[in-house]
Structure 1
């Protein structure tokens, strides 16, 4: 499973970078945002989810990111991890460049709390040898008093969703 996990992470990171590296004229700010994002990925750990999670009653309403307004909301929540305003601005510039192709292996999600975007995350799915494998990553929530609960709700939702169509699910934190 370690090889699959490393492959999922490599593919996810390549997909995330491709929105800047494949762009004809990326902005300097978006390039800086990509660098900051990649740096944030270096100290993460992974573990395999080997038990089925039941669907719980979450505090969030979940939406797959399928249009630019949701991409912006995803970006604002995800970039809130950076406290430095210039870094946050660069990460927002980078993340708002994400473009979706039909049948993309990555699906971003935004979780709304009381009608406002408050959490985000991603499922990256890759098929190999007729098996589907999923990586749950980039889970974050706004620094609200219930931040940890929002992160837990988003993680549980993404894991439960990925388990519906994947033989193995790995989470990266």
Structure 2
């Protein structure tokens, strides 16, 4: 029976045989979980980056998302009108259709499509642009544009497609003669 007890007690022996080994195991049982927790915290908090190539959190993109959809501009009704260039009118109004050829609109730069229109003459092209034709509304759908601005846009598009038109100059201000006429009346 003593043989059975001896065999039985050997089966239950611990791998820790010395007090030094016990101290090491106790110390590691506290240190290892703490190190693992610290590494996990660093891993979770270290990266505030968004997906690769994404700039959705930059100040500029956040500001663009927060800005109003519609613009508002106060203008002095008595100030002289500043006419836009043909390129500015094209980019703001005409490019919507003429950049992609939407609804049969002649694409900017396609000389073959523009040639028959250019052959009709500048005044005819301006008249069509002001009054509208087919799917194109009068003045490209922007009634605030002046006829000079429409003519400048026509010249810009025609010249970009093989034409050789001069961009119309802004008319002389009409306020100057009215001010001269008022001065002599006040002197009487």
TM-score bin, normalised by smaller chain: under 0.3
Bigger Rg over Cα? 2
Q: Answer 1 or 2: which has greater helix percent.
A: 2
TM-score by length of 1: 0.23
Q: Which has the higher contact order (CA 8 A, sep 6+)?
A: 1
Q: Answer 1 or 2: which has greater strand percent.
A: 1
TM-score by length of 2: 0.22
